[in-house]
Protein backbone atom coordinates (compact mmCIF):
# COMPACT_ATOMS: atom_id res chain seq x y z
CA UNK A 1 0.00 0.00 0.00
CA UNK A 2 1.26 3.51 -0.83
CA UNK A 3 2.28 5.78 2.03
CA UNK A 4 -0.51 8.27 1.07
CA UNK A 5 -3.14 5.51 1.16
CA UNK A 6 -1.92 4.37 4.57
CA UNK A 7 -2.24 7.87 6.01
CA UNK A 8 -5.74 8.22 4.54
CA UNK A 9 -6.81 4.85 5.91
CA UNK A 10 -5.50 5.65 9.39
CA UNK A 11 -7.46 8.90 9.33
CA UNK A 12 -10.63 7.15 8.16
CA UNK A 13 -10.31 4.54 10.93
CA UNK A 14 -9.81 7.24 13.51
CA UNK A 15 -12.84 9.23 12.29
CA UNK A 16 -14.89 6.03 12.31
CA UNK A 17 -13.91 5.18 15.90
CA UNK A 18 -14.59 8.73 17.08
CA UNK A 19 -18.04 8.78 15.40
CA UNK A 20 -18.83 5.44 17.03
CA UNK A 21 -17.89 6.66 20.51
CA UNK A 22 -19.92 9.84 19.91
CA UNK A 23 -23.03 7.86 18.89
CA UNK A 24 -22.78 4.97 21.37
CA UNK A 25 -21.10 6.46 24.47
CA UNK A 26 -20.50 5.26 27.09
CA UNK A 27 -18.72 2.39 25.39
CA UNK A 28 -15.74 0.13 26.20
CA UNK A 29 -12.68 -0.44 24.01
CA UNK A 30 -13.76 -4.07 23.61
CA UNK A 31 -17.20 -3.07 22.28
CA UNK A 32 -15.56 -0.65 19.83
CA UNK A 33 -13.29 -3.46 18.64
CA UNK A 34 -16.31 -5.73 18.15
CA UNK A 35 -18.34 -3.08 16.30
CA UNK A 36 -15.54 -1.89 14.04
CA UNK A 37 -14.00 -5.34 13.54
CA UNK A 38 -10.61 -3.73 14.21
CA UNK A 39 -8.14 -5.48 16.50
CA UNK A 40 -8.09 -4.58 20.25
CA UNK A 41 -4.47 -3.41 19.76
CA UNK A 42 -5.50 -0.97 17.00
CA UNK A 43 -8.42 0.31 19.09
CA UNK A 44 -6.18 0.87 22.12
CA UNK A 45 -3.77 2.83 19.93
CA UNK A 46 -6.49 4.94 18.24
CA UNK A 47 -8.30 5.65 21.53
CA UNK A 48 -4.95 6.65 23.04
CA UNK A 49 -4.42 9.19 20.25
CA UNK A 50 -7.99 10.51 20.61
CA UNK A 51 -7.49 10.92 24.37
CA UNK A 52 -4.24 12.78 23.81
CA UNK A 53 -5.96 15.12 21.31
CA UNK A 54 -8.73 15.75 23.83
CA UNK A 55 -11.61 14.16 21.88
CA UNK A 56 -12.19 11.21 24.17
CA UNK A 57 -12.12 10.71 27.92
CA UNK A 58 -12.48 7.77 30.29
CA UNK A 59 -15.65 7.96 32.37
CA UNK A 60 -16.05 6.71 35.93
CA UNK A 61 -18.35 3.98 34.62
CA UNK A 62 -17.29 0.41 33.98
CA UNK A 63 -18.87 -2.41 31.99
CA UNK A 64 -21.57 -4.40 33.75
CA UNK A 65 -21.94 -8.18 33.64
CA UNK A 66 -19.40 -10.92 34.34
CA UNK A 67 -15.68 -10.85 33.51
CA UNK A 68 -13.04 -8.20 34.05
CA UNK A 69 -14.50 -4.73 34.41
CA UNK A 70 -13.54 -2.35 31.59
CA UNK A 71 -13.61 1.43 31.78
CA UNK A 72 -16.19 3.10 29.53
CA UNK A 73 -15.28 5.92 27.16
CA UNK A 74 -17.12 9.11 26.21
CA UNK A 75 -16.38 12.06 23.93
CA UNK A 76 -15.44 15.45 25.36
CA UNK A 77 -18.12 17.94 24.36
CA UNK A 78 -15.83 20.93 24.93
CA UNK A 79 -13.02 19.80 22.63
CA UNK A 80 -14.35 22.08 19.90
CA UNK A 81 -17.13 24.54 19.21
CA UNK A 82 -18.94 26.07 16.26
CA UNK A 83 -20.96 29.26 16.00
CA UNK A 84 -24.45 29.15 14.51
CA UNK A 85 -26.11 32.33 13.23
CA UNK A 86 -29.71 32.90 12.18
CA UNK A 87 -30.41 36.01 10.23
CA UNK A 88 -33.89 37.23 9.46
CA UNK A 89 -35.50 40.53 8.51
CA UNK A 90 -35.98 41.60 12.11
CA UNK A 91 -33.91 39.17 14.17
CA UNK A 92 -30.29 38.14 14.60
CA UNK A 93 -29.56 35.06 16.71
CA UNK A 94 -26.11 33.79 17.62
CA UNK A 95 -25.31 30.57 19.44
CA UNK A 96 -22.31 28.52 20.50
CA UNK A 97 -22.66 24.76 20.06
CA UNK A 98 -20.22 22.16 21.34
CA UNK A 99 -18.94 18.97 19.73
CA UNK A 100 -21.89 16.91 20.93
CA UNK A 101 -24.54 19.35 19.69
CA UNK A 102 -25.12 21.06 23.04
CA UNK A 103 -26.17 24.72 22.86
CA UNK A 104 -23.78 26.50 25.27
CA UNK A 105 -25.27 29.97 24.83
CA UNK A 106 -27.89 31.54 22.55
CA UNK A 107 -28.27 35.30 22.20
CA UNK A 108 -31.11 37.01 20.35
CA UNK A 109 -31.01 40.58 19.01
CA UNK A 110 -33.58 42.75 17.30
CA UNK A 111 -32.38 43.67 13.81
CA UNK A 112 -33.29 46.93 12.14
CA UNK A 113 -34.91 45.86 8.83
CA UNK A 114 -33.37 48.92 7.17
CA UNK A 115 -29.81 48.01 8.20
CA UNK A 116 -27.39 47.83 5.23
CA UNK A 117 -25.47 44.72 4.21
CA UNK A 118 -22.20 46.15 5.55
CA UNK A 119 -23.81 47.07 8.86
CA UNK A 120 -25.27 43.59 9.24
CA UNK A 121 -21.96 41.87 8.54
CA UNK A 122 -20.22 44.18 11.03
CA UNK A 123 -22.97 43.52 13.55
CA UNK A 124 -22.62 39.74 13.23
CA UNK A 125 -18.88 40.07 13.77
CA UNK A 126 -19.35 42.20 16.91
CA UNK A 127 -21.92 39.83 18.43
CA UNK A 128 -19.81 36.77 17.60
CA UNK A 129 -16.80 38.33 19.34
CA UNK A 130 -19.06 39.14 22.34
CA UNK A 131 -20.49 35.67 22.77
CA UNK A 132 -17.06 34.04 22.48
CA UNK A 133 -15.64 36.40 25.11
CA UNK A 134 -18.59 36.12 27.48
CA UNK A 135 -18.38 32.32 27.40
CA UNK A 136 -14.60 32.36 27.67
CA UNK A 137 -14.15 29.97 24.78
CA UNK A 138 -10.51 29.73 23.60
CA UNK A 139 -10.55 30.96 19.97
CA UNK A 140 -8.44 27.98 18.91
CA UNK A 141 -11.27 25.67 19.84
CA UNK A 142 -13.76 27.35 17.46
CA UNK A 143 -13.53 25.61 14.13
CA UNK A 144 -15.99 27.77 12.26
CA UNK A 145 -19.19 29.72 11.87
CA UNK A 146 -22.32 29.10 9.78
CA UNK A 147 -25.15 31.44 8.85
CA UNK A 148 -28.69 30.37 7.97
CA UNK A 149 -30.76 33.02 6.19
CA UNK A 150 -33.89 33.16 4.02
CA UNK A 151 -33.37 33.31 0.27
CA UNK A 152 -31.64 31.72 -2.68
CA UNK A 153 -28.15 30.85 -1.50
CA UNK A 154 -25.20 29.64 -3.57
CA UNK A 155 -23.76 27.71 -0.64
CA UNK A 156 -20.88 26.25 -2.66
CA UNK A 157 -19.50 29.67 -3.55
CA UNK A 158 -20.66 31.39 -0.39
CA UNK A 159 -22.83 33.93 -2.19
CA UNK A 160 -26.34 35.12 -1.29
CA UNK A 161 -28.02 35.26 -4.70
CA UNK A 162 -31.34 36.78 -3.62
CA UNK A 163 -32.64 37.46 -0.12
CA UNK A 164 -35.83 39.46 -0.58
CA UNK A 165 -36.46 39.90 3.13
CA UNK A 166 -32.99 41.34 3.68
CA UNK A 167 -33.02 43.19 0.33
CA UNK A 168 -29.67 41.58 -0.62
CA UNK A 169 -28.62 40.48 -4.10
CA UNK A 170 -25.38 38.72 -5.07
CA UNK A 171 -23.49 39.55 -1.89
CA UNK A 172 -20.33 37.60 -1.00
CA UNK A 173 -21.27 36.81 2.58
CA UNK A 174 -18.70 34.06 3.16
CA UNK A 175 -15.82 36.17 1.84
CA UNK A 176 -16.82 39.27 3.81
CA UNK A 177 -17.66 37.51 7.05
CA UNK A 178 -14.56 35.31 7.13
CA UNK A 179 -12.37 38.35 6.50
CA UNK A 180 -13.91 40.16 9.49
CA UNK A 181 -14.16 37.24 11.92
CA UNK A 182 -11.02 35.32 10.83
CA UNK A 183 -13.17 32.18 11.04
CA UNK A 184 -14.10 29.61 8.42
CA UNK A 185 -17.62 30.47 7.30
CA UNK A 186 -20.42 28.39 5.74
CA UNK A 187 -23.81 29.76 4.61
CA UNK A 188 -27.06 28.18 3.51
CA UNK A 189 -30.79 28.76 3.34
CA UNK A 190 -32.22 28.88 6.89
CA UNK A 191 -34.60 25.94 6.41
CA UNK A 192 -31.88 23.75 4.92
CA UNK A 193 -29.90 24.47 8.11
CA UNK A 194 -32.93 23.72 10.24
CA UNK A 195 -33.65 20.35 8.65
CA UNK A 196 -30.04 19.35 9.42
CA UNK A 197 -30.81 20.00 13.09
CA UNK A 198 -34.05 18.00 12.76
CA UNK A 199 -32.11 15.18 11.10
CA UNK A 200 -29.42 15.16 13.81
CA UNK A 201 -31.34 15.71 17.03
CA UNK A 202 -34.98 16.47 16.09
CA UNK A 203 -38.08 14.93 14.56
CA UNK A 204 -36.31 13.75 11.38
CA UNK A 205 -33.63 11.80 13.28
CA UNK A 206 -32.83 8.67 11.26
CA UNK A 207 -35.55 9.60 8.74
CA UNK A 208 -35.08 8.63 5.10
CA UNK A 209 -37.46 11.23 3.69
CA UNK A 210 -38.80 14.26 5.52
CA UNK A 211 -39.91 17.74 4.64
CA UNK A 212 -39.59 20.70 6.97
CA UNK A 213 -42.10 23.50 6.41
CA UNK A 214 -41.23 26.85 7.97
CA UNK A 215 -43.89 29.50 8.43
CA UNK A 216 -42.97 32.90 9.81
CA UNK A 217 -41.93 36.10 8.08
CA UNK A 218 -42.16 33.96 4.92
CA UNK A 219 -43.02 30.39 3.99
CA UNK A 220 -40.57 27.82 2.71
CA UNK A 221 -39.59 24.20 2.93
CA UNK A 222 -36.50 22.00 3.01
CA UNK A 223 -36.39 18.44 1.80
CA UNK A 224 -34.43 15.48 3.11
CA UNK A 225 -34.16 12.43 0.82
CA UNK A 226 -32.10 9.36 1.70
CA UNK A 227 -30.62 11.28 4.60
CA UNK A 228 -29.33 14.10 2.36
CA UNK A 229 -30.69 17.60 1.79
CA UNK A 230 -32.24 17.70 -1.69
CA UNK A 231 -30.92 20.94 -3.19
CA UNK A 232 -31.93 21.00 -6.85
CA UNK A 233 -29.86 22.56 -9.62
CA UNK A 234 -28.95 25.72 -7.71
CA UNK A 235 -30.03 25.05 -4.14
CA UNK A 236 -33.59 26.37 -4.61
CA UNK A 237 -35.52 23.10 -4.27
CA UNK A 238 -38.32 23.44 -1.72
CA UNK A 239 -39.21 27.03 -2.70
CA UNK A 240 -42.86 26.48 -1.91
CA UNK A 241 -43.49 30.19 -1.31
CA UNK A 242 -43.56 30.82 -5.05
CA UNK A 243 -45.79 27.91 -5.98
CA UNK A 244 -49.12 29.19 -7.24
CA UNK A 245 -52.12 28.24 -5.15
CA UNK A 246 -54.65 30.52 -6.87
CA UNK A 247 -54.10 31.70 -10.45
CA UNK A 248 -56.43 34.65 -9.94
CA UNK A 249 -55.11 35.49 -6.51
CA UNK A 250 -52.93 38.20 -4.96
CA UNK A 251 -50.18 39.83 -7.01
CA UNK A 252 -46.77 38.61 -5.85
CA UNK A 253 -43.47 40.50 -5.88
CA UNK A 254 -42.18 37.84 -8.33
CA UNK A 255 -44.71 38.98 -10.95
CA UNK A 256 -47.14 36.04 -10.74
CA UNK A 257 -50.62 35.92 -9.23
CA UNK A 258 -51.53 33.85 -6.22
CA UNK A 259 -48.14 32.64 -4.94
CA UNK A 260 -48.45 30.91 -1.59
CA UNK A 261 -46.21 33.50 0.10
CA UNK A 262 -48.77 36.22 -0.61
CA UNK A 263 -51.21 34.40 1.72
CA UNK A 264 -49.04 32.73 4.33
CA UNK A 265 -46.57 35.06 5.99
CA UNK A 266 -46.75 37.43 8.90
CA UNK A 267 -46.61 40.36 6.50
CA UNK A 268 -49.50 39.05 4.39
CA UNK A 269 -51.66 38.40 7.44
CA UNK A 270 -50.87 41.83 8.87
CA UNK A 271 -51.69 43.55 5.58
CA UNK A 272 -55.13 41.91 5.52
CA UNK A 273 -55.69 42.61 9.22
CA UNK A 274 -54.96 46.31 8.73
CA UNK A 275 -57.96 46.56 6.42
CA UNK A 276 -60.06 45.79 9.50
CA UNK A 277 -58.30 47.44 12.39
CA UNK A 278 -55.50 49.89 13.07
CA UNK A 279 -52.88 47.46 14.34
CA UNK A 280 -49.15 47.30 13.90
CA UNK A 281 -48.00 43.79 14.84
CA UNK A 282 -48.90 40.19 14.15
CA UNK A 283 -49.25 39.64 17.90
CA UNK A 284 -52.29 41.92 17.89
CA UNK A 285 -53.91 39.65 15.30
CA UNK A 286 -53.33 36.70 17.63
CA UNK A 287 -54.92 38.63 20.52
CA UNK A 288 -57.96 39.42 18.36
CA UNK A 289 -58.18 35.74 17.38
CA UNK A 290 -58.16 34.72 21.04
CA UNK A 291 -60.81 37.36 21.80
CA UNK A 292 -62.97 35.68 19.15
CA UNK A 293 -63.08 38.69 16.78
CA UNK A 294 -64.59 37.30 13.60
CA UNK A 295 -62.22 39.02 11.13
CA UNK A 296 -59.23 37.49 12.94
CA UNK A 297 -60.91 34.08 13.03
CA UNK A 298 -61.56 34.37 9.28
CA UNK A 299 -58.06 35.48 8.35
CA UNK A 300 -56.36 32.77 10.39
CA UNK A 301 -58.87 30.18 9.19
CA UNK A 302 -57.87 31.01 5.62
CA UNK A 303 -54.20 30.86 6.62
CA UNK A 304 -54.73 27.38 8.07
CA UNK A 305 -56.51 26.35 4.84
CA UNK A 306 -53.60 27.49 2.69
CA UNK A 307 -51.05 25.84 4.99
CA UNK A 308 -52.95 22.55 4.79
CA UNK A 309 -53.16 22.82 0.99
CA UNK A 310 -49.42 23.51 0.83
CA UNK A 311 -48.77 20.42 2.95
CA UNK A 312 -51.10 18.38 0.75
CA UNK A 313 -49.36 19.58 -2.42
CA UNK A 314 -45.91 18.78 -0.99
CA UNK A 315 -47.13 15.33 0.02
CA UNK A 316 -48.52 14.67 -3.48
CA UNK A 317 -45.25 15.57 -5.15
CA UNK A 318 -42.71 14.05 -2.74
CA UNK A 319 -44.69 11.51 -0.70
CA UNK A 320 -42.32 11.74 2.29
CA UNK A 321 -42.71 9.74 5.48
CA UNK A 322 -42.86 12.86 7.61
CA UNK A 323 -43.71 16.56 7.32
CA UNK A 324 -42.44 18.73 10.16
CA UNK A 325 -44.14 22.07 10.82
CA UNK A 326 -42.07 24.85 12.35
CA UNK A 327 -41.71 28.60 12.56
CA UNK A 328 -42.95 31.63 14.42
CA UNK A 329 -46.53 31.47 13.21
CA UNK A 330 -46.92 27.92 14.53
CA UNK A 331 -44.88 28.52 17.69
CA UNK A 332 -46.81 31.67 18.66
CA UNK A 333 -50.23 30.29 17.70
CA UNK A 334 -50.41 26.72 18.97
CA UNK A 335 -54.19 26.94 18.39
CA UNK A 336 -53.45 26.70 14.67
CA UNK A 337 -51.92 23.24 14.97
CA UNK A 338 -55.30 21.58 15.47
CA UNK A 339 -56.92 23.59 12.68
CA UNK A 340 -54.12 22.66 10.27
CA UNK A 341 -54.30 19.00 11.24
CA UNK A 342 -58.08 18.89 10.76
CA UNK A 343 -57.82 20.52 7.36
CA UNK A 344 -54.98 18.17 6.32
CA UNK A 345 -57.20 15.27 7.28
CA UNK A 346 -59.84 16.64 4.88
CA UNK A 347 -57.55 17.72 2.04
CA UNK A 348 -54.97 14.95 1.81
CA UNK A 349 -55.29 12.56 -1.13
CA UNK A 350 -56.33 9.19 0.31
CA UNK A 351 -53.52 6.91 -1.02
CA UNK A 352 -50.89 9.28 0.42
CA UNK A 353 -52.55 10.05 3.75
CA UNK A 354 -52.08 6.63 5.31
CA UNK A 355 -48.25 6.70 5.21
CA UNK A 356 -47.71 10.34 6.15
CA UNK A 357 -46.96 11.69 9.63
CA UNK A 358 -47.46 15.38 10.24
CA UNK A 359 -45.53 16.53 13.31
CA UNK A 360 -44.45 19.76 14.97
CA UNK A 361 -40.83 20.69 15.46
CA UNK A 362 -39.57 20.44 19.01
CA UNK A 363 -36.50 22.59 18.41
CA UNK A 364 -38.45 25.81 18.98
CA UNK A 365 -36.73 29.05 18.11
CA UNK A 366 -33.20 27.64 18.19
CA UNK A 367 -33.55 25.24 15.22
CA UNK A 368 -31.75 27.35 12.62
CA UNK A 369 -28.87 28.33 14.94
CA UNK A 370 -28.41 24.73 16.04
CA UNK A 371 -28.60 23.38 12.49
CA UNK A 372 -26.12 25.98 11.24
CA UNK A 373 -23.66 25.09 14.00
CA UNK A 374 -24.02 21.37 13.25
CA UNK A 375 -23.57 22.04 9.53
CA UNK A 376 -20.40 24.05 10.31
CA UNK A 377 -19.12 21.01 12.19
CA UNK A 378 -20.09 18.62 9.37
CA UNK A 379 -18.40 20.80 6.73
CA UNK A 380 -15.34 22.01 8.58
CA UNK A 381 -14.31 19.37 11.11
CA UNK A 382 -11.46 17.18 9.96
CA UNK A 383 -9.36 15.14 12.35
CA UNK A 384 -5.57 14.81 12.08
Question: Which residues of this protein are in contact with a copy of itself, per CB under 8 A?
Answer: 152, 161-162, 209, 221, 223, 225, 230-240, 242-248, 254-256, 305-306, 309, 312-314, 316-321, 346-347, 349-352, 354-356
| 192: phi then psi, degrees, rounded to nearest 5 | -70, -35
Nearer to a copy of itself, 203 or 231 (CB): 231
Nearer to a copy of itself, 35 or 152 (CB): 152
Do residues 18 and 49 make contact, with C-beta atoms less than 8 angstroms apart? no
Q: How far apart are alpha carbons 74 and 154 in whole angstroms? A: 37
Do residues 281 and 270 make contact, with C-beta atoms less than 8 angstroms apart? yes
The DSSP H or E segment spanning 343 is: helix 335-347
Nearer to a copy of itself, 155 or 318 (CB): 318
Q: What one-character DSSP code corresponds to residue 77?
A: G
| Bridge partners of residue 93, in order along the sequence | 86, 108
Q: How far apart are alpha carbons 344 and 204 in whole angstroms? A: 20
Nearest distance in Å: CB 349, a copy of itself: 4
The radius of gyration computed from the CA coordinates of the chain, to the nearest angstrom, equals 23
Angle at 168 between CA 377 and CA 244, to 5 degrees: 95
Nearest distance in Å: CB 314, a copy of itself: 7
Nearest distance in Å: CB 248, a copy of itself: 8
Nearer to a copy of itself, 181 or 189 (CB): 189
Do residues 204 and 195 make contact, with C-beta atoms less than 8 angstroms apart? yes
E strands along 102-208, which residues?
A: 103-110, 142-149, 152-154, 159-163, 168-171, 185-189
Do residues 72 and 27 make contact, with C-beta atoms less than 8 angstroms apart? yes
Nearer to a copy of itself, 127 or 242 (CB): 242
Peptide bond between residue 26 and the one before it cis (omega within 30 degrees of 0): yes
Nearer to a copy of itself, 240 or 269 (CB): 240
Angle at 172 between CA 234 and CA 224, to 5 degrees: 35
Per-residue H/E/C for 119-145: HHHHHHHHHHHHHHHHCCCCHHHEEEE
Nearest distance in Å: CB 99, a copy of itself: 31
Nearer to a copy of itself, 139 or 254 (CB): 254
Nearest distance in Å: CB 239, a copy of itself: 4
Q: How far is CA 123 from the centre of its chain?
A: 22
Nearest distance in Å: CB 380, a copy of itself: 25
Angle at 242 between CA 241 and CA 245, to 5 degrees: 90
Nearer to a copy of itself, 47 or 304 (CB): 304
Nearest distance in Å: CB 344, a copy of itself: 11
Nearest distance in Å: CB 170, a copy of itself: 11
β-strands 185-189, 142-149 pairing: parallel
Nearest distance in Å: CB 358, a copy of itself: 13
Nearest distance in Å: CB 301, a copy of itself: 12
Nearer to a copy of itself, 124 or 245 (CB): 245
Do residues 67 and 128 make contact, with C-beta atoms less than 8 angstroms apart? no
Nearer to a copy of itself, 65 or 351 (CB): 351
Amino acid sequence: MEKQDQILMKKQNKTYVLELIKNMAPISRMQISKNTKMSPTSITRIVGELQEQGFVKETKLVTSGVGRKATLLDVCGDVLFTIGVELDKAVLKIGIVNYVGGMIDLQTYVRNPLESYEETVQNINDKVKNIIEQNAIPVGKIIGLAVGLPGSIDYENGIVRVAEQLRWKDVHLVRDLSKLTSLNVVIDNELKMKIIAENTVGKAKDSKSSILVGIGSGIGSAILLNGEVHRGESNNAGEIGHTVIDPNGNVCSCGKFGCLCTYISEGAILADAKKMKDISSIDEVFVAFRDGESWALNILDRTATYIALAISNLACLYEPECIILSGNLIDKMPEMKQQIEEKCERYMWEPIKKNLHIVHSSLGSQGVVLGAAIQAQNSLFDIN
